Structure 1
């Protein structure tokens, strides 16, 4: 019965568009391959037992369930995650990918499923307390390579932007004093401050971001199906339950 349901769901996905040749072959096998970092708490990381967990993991599983597909997670560094999508290593990325005009030139996004704000991060014991990106001029500031945060820092001008494969490396160098500040998601910063004994604290914030599930522009049928699935998990309360579990609030609202 389960195989029949999966096959039916795959056929339904393909029927959403005449461009079935553009649909990833994994969908016809009943699998949704999902790219993510696995080192970005509380969104996607491994717990003490080595199990992949996090907000994005739960959202990805819920979306896959609505599609009638089995989620298969593919872990990769942030610096290569968008290239991996174009190389067909996975069908979608569920990893807090900010929707930007530049990215929309080459990849497609679902409707936004998370709204958050970038935050400047500094050492807890230090006296440096930047309020805006202008306060970071002349400073060494860490960010993930290829991220929206890196782009914002460079656009501000006058900041010595130091890039890393992912957020974990930024936090490690900040704690060690090798950089003056970091710049990342406020939801991540608040989670780390509450759940881990990291010597960091949040400072000023940037402009709000909207995050979407990323996929190749040619996958029109997949985008339509994922947008529908997101509406369904919001309507039936699944999204709110997951969001409150991780953040205590519903992060689907601006």
Structure 2
């Protein structure tokens, strides 16, 4: 066997130290969060009932309460940033915040860039139509030639763009495309099935649940890759919230059911 030259040994040793240092640094997000005393959380802030500002201007919603509960389990406080959906993932990659708690689908493509917590919400895509809609809008064939409103950069936008013959209109967020739907500028909108009951109950927009479309998906909490201690802590916090009943109470308050379970067929 060919002997290892001294220079090669030095290079190998230096490389090992670099890798070790990188590994130690990558696993430090949990320590950084605890030292800072805050978990930096990004939400849209315009996506009821998940995260939005109430009449007094206070940030509230299902995701806000879940993020606060997770931070509590970590022994820190949640510090929120509000960001348009179109820029929220880029902000996470740039290190502007530690996590996004905003119904982010844990797709294979996103997993190439981010690590994710265990799923905390299971839902499906659903069409939203006007309350006086009389046309049959239930299948991809029905949507041919129709205008579909979606949020920029969302997985719903990707789903809509895969519908042959449909005209996809992209918006900064739900408020903009729901307003256009209500006024007839688009034919349907596409979003999370959990959004529809809230809209029906809490808003005065003339919209209602349409047909479910696309597969059931899991939403989770993304964060920068290479933080195994942080992931373990976030997953444990979620598990503890479910074990002590806190998650179910928060979920029931906003949706009337446990949203960590698969949705009932529409």
- TM surpasses 0.5: yes
Q: What is the TM-score with the length of structure 2 in the denominator? A: 0.86
User: Which residue of structure 1 aligns with residue 110 of structure 2?
Assistant: 103
Matched, 1:50 2:25: no
Query: What RMSD in Å do the two structures reach over aligned CA positions?
Result: 1.5
Q: Does the CA contact (< 8 Å) of 1:133 and 1:153 recur in 2?
A: no
Q: Does the CA contact (< 8 Å) of 1:144 and 1:164 recur in 2?
A: yes
User: Structure 2 residue aligned with 1:29, among 32, 36, 39?
Assistant: 36
Cα distance per residue 1:34-66 (max 9 Å; x no partner): 010000000000001110000000000010100
Which whole-Å CA distance do the structure 2 matches of 1:21 and 1:234 have between them? 31
Q: How many residues align?
A: 238
What secondary structure sits across from 1:134 in the alignment? coil
Within 5 Å, which residues of 2 pair with 1:81-92?
81-92=88-99
User: Which residue of structure 1 aligns with residue 231 of structure 2?
Assistant: 223
Within 5 Å, which residues of 2 pair with 1:19-168?
19-22=23-26, 23-24=28-29, 25-168=32-175
Within 5 Å, which residues of 2 pair with 1:197-212?
197-206=204-213, 207-212=215-220
Measure how far apart 1:155 and its partner are.
Answer: 2.0
Q: Does the CA contact (< 8 Å) of 2:140 and 2:164 recur in 1?
A: no
User: Which residue of structure 2 aligns with residue 7 of structure 1?
Assistant: none
Q: Does the CA contact (< 8 Å) of 2:34 and 2:74 recur in 1?
A: no
What secondary structure sits across from 1:117 in the alignment? strand
Between structure 1 and structure 2, the one with the greater Rg is 2
Cα distance per residue 1:146-174 (max 9 Å; x no partner): 11101111123322111111111111111
Which whole-Å CA distance do the structure 2 matches of 1:129 and 1:58 have between them? 38
Q: After the TM superposition, which parts of structure 1 deviate over 6 Å for at least 4 consecutive aligned residues?
A: none
Q: Which runs of 5+ in 2 are unaligned?
A: 1-21
Q: Which runs of 5+ in 1 are unaligned?
A: 1-17
User: Which residue of structure 1 aligns with residue 250 of structure 2?
Assistant: 242
Q: Does the CA contact (< 8 Å) of 2:124 and 2:216 recur in 1?
A: yes
What secondary structure sits across from 1:202 in the alignment? strand
Which whole-Å CA distance do the structure 1 matches of 2:94 and 2:88 have between them? 10
Q: What is the TM-score with the length of structure 1 in the denominator? A: 0.90
